[in-house]
Amino acid sequence: MATEKILVIEDEEPIRELLKLTLESAGYSGVYMAANGENGLSLAQSRLPDLILLDLMLPGMDGLSVCRQLKSQEETRAIPIIMLTARSEESDVIIGLELGAVDYITKPFSRKILIARIRAQLRQFSDVEESNEIRRDGLMIRIDQHEVRLHGKLLDLTPSEFSILHMLVSYPGRVYTRNQIITRVKGDGYPVTERAIDVQILNLRRKLGDWAVNVDTVRGVGYRYKQESTE
């Protein structure tokens, strides 16, 4: 039985029920439901869930406003938000990610993917630590030294490639927009475009060889480091 509390904010009752059922059959007993943004916000504040599933198209206060509110309040800021969207809401997805949501799931969703994505976010919460080393599936990053080793072998990465890789693997399962990646690598002191990010990723993948299957292109949105278990 999973002890994490999950809050679902979704206005459509059949989807809400399906989500509740799916979460409960996956072992989550602390599932809270809200049918609109206002109730969702107050439940988030009173229950302090470990994760929030947030529909973007809500009557009244829309999902992006809910997301913005959650991120602006001290108590709820750190709660990971996974957005639920229709395929046509891609630009909202990008805004949501830039507001601080960690991932999104397109409706209709597969139950298996839904649970895997939720687990990925809950797992890494206990997993992120202030250490100088990140190890992921044969890859080791030494942050202070700007050093990356793959199965023990030192990789020759540019500072931007290092920054991008570090960003992606720090939060498994989290989707980053190209803009967020640009902001991260800007420190390297030259103009960066979305296209330049794609080129950097291409070069990074080449250097990573087989391991590059872990770097996932999120079409039209950005990139994520995908753990095998989120498949």
Stretch that binds Ca ion, among 50-58, 71-79, 193-201, 207-215 (CB under 5 A): 50-58
CA atoms within 13 A on the CB side of 182: 14
Which residue of this chain has its Cβ atom nearest to Ca ion in the complex? 57
Q: Is 57 in the site for Ca ion (CB under 5 A)?
A: yes
Interface pattern 148-187 for Ca ion (x via CB under 5 A): ----------------------------------------
Stretch that binds Ca ion, among 9-17, 41-49, 124-132, 150-158 (CB under 5 A): 9-17
Structure tokens at 94: 């990008």
Q: Which residue from 5, 11, 111, 183 is in contact with Ca ion, where contact means CB under 5 A?
A: 11
Nearer to Ca ion, 55 or 103 (CB): 55
Structure tokens at 69: 């509110």
Q: Are 105 and 113 in contact (CB under 8 A)?
A: yes
Q: How far is the CB of 63 from Ca ion (least distance, A)?
A: 8
| Widest distance between CA atoms in the chain | 54
Nearer to Ca ion, 87 or 195 (CB): 87
The residue count for binding Ca ion (CB under 5 A) is 3
Nearer to Ca ion, 93 or 139 (CB): 93
Q: How far is the CB of 54 from Ca ion (least distance, A)?
A: 10
Q: Is 55 in the site for Ca ion (CB under 5 A)?
A: yes
Q: Are 9 and 55 in contact (CB under 8 A)?
A: yes
Nearer to Ca ion, 50 or 55 (CB): 55
CA–CA dist 130, 72 (Å, integer): 24
Stretch that binds Ca ion, among 25-33, 39-47, 55-63, 157-165 (CB under 5 A): 55-63
CA–CA dist 107, 119 (Å, integer): 18
Q: Are 54 and 63 in contact (CB under 8 A)?
A: yes
Nearer to Ca ion, 11 or 90 (CB): 11
CA–CA dist 6, 43 (Å, integer): 11
Give how far Cα 96 sits from Cα of 12, 176, 212, Å. 20, 11, 26
CA atoms within 13 A on the CB side of 37: 17
Stretch that binds Ca ion, among 52-60, 66-74, 185-193, 201-209 (CB under 5 A): 52-60
CA–CA dist 10, 69 (Å, integer): 16
Q: Which residues bind Ca ion (CB under 5 A)?
A: 11, 55, 57
